[in-house]
Amino acid sequence: MARDPYEVLGVSRGATDEEIKKAYRALAKRYHPDSFTDPSQRARAEETMKEINAAYESIQKDKSGSSSGSGSSSGYSYQGPRNGGVGIYATIRQYINSSMPDEAEQLLNTVNPADRGAEWHYLRACVCVLRGWYYDAHTAASTACSLDPGNEEYRQLLDMLERDVNRADGTYRTAQTSDCDICSICQTLACLNCLCSSFCR
């Protein structure tokens, strides 16, 4: 049923424990579900992670005969709108929660432009998120928040978008700040050298 565990880890049958561990670590780092923000990608990473864990365990079992407990994966779900609400918005919420953006948008478009309040903008933001339209999602979510600043549901969506952005440019920001200025190190060393040579003769 399952693939050959050695094939999953990409090692040969004669691989040493060290090699297997290294391959496992590299794969586990790569497919760790926490490094994916998109729910579907995350789910796929979890699947792959399970396969990798199972392969690693079965190789370990083969080698030593002992078994170890399997790690549990944390659940994650995109926080869609709560079902409920009144009138047409209730139906739209249901469409969004069943991942049907086209139907939801059609209904949204039937709402008279004059009656489009905070909830309308919020639901439009949800539709955009489903489609990967993050620009429109952001503008619609911030409009919803500015129309109804006290609403927690709207605020949560905007926070979620901001969090995804922060995660995405986090690596870049650390790369920017951690590139330690080599000149300043040289300068410090040169100064220290002068001090040392004058004091510690």
Distances (CA, A) of 74 to 83, 113, 136, 141: 24, 42, 30, 28
Nearer Cβ to another protein (103/164): 164
Residue 164 binds another protein (CB under 8 A): yes
Q: Rounded to whole angstroms, how far apart are CA atoms 80 and 5?
A: 37
In sign, the C-alpha dihedral spanning 131, 134, 136, 139 is: positive
Stretch that binds another protein, among 11-19, 51-59, 76-84, 161-169 (CB under 8 A): 161-169
Q: Rounded to whole angstroms, how far apart are CA atoms 128 and 120?
A: 12
Among 16, 109, 112, 135, the residue binding another protein under the rule CB under 8 A is 135
Residue 169 binds another protein (CB under 8 A): yes
Among 90, 175, 191, 192, the residue binding another protein under the rule CB under 8 A is 175
Q: Rounded to whole angstroms, how far apart are CA atoms 57 and 67?
A: 7
Nearer Cβ to another protein (168/189): 168
Residue 136 binds another protein (CB under 8 A): yes
Rounded to a whole number of angstroms, the minimum distance from the CB of residue 109 to another protein is 13
Residue 145 binds another protein (CB under 8 A): no
Token digits of residue 41: 């990608």
List CB contacts of 105: < 8 A, sequence separation 6 or more. 124, 127
Distances (CA, A) of 104 to 11, 91, 96, 197: 48, 8, 6, 76
Instruction: Write each residue from 25 to 44 as x if it is in contact with another protein (CB under 8 A), else as -, in one continuous string.
Output: -x---xx---xxxx--x--x
Residue 128 binds another protein (CB under 8 A): yes
Query: Applying CB under 8 A, which residues contact another protein?
Result: 10, 26, 30-31, 35-38, 41, 44-45, 48, 128, 131-139, 142-143, 161-162, 164-165, 167-169, 171-172, 175, 179
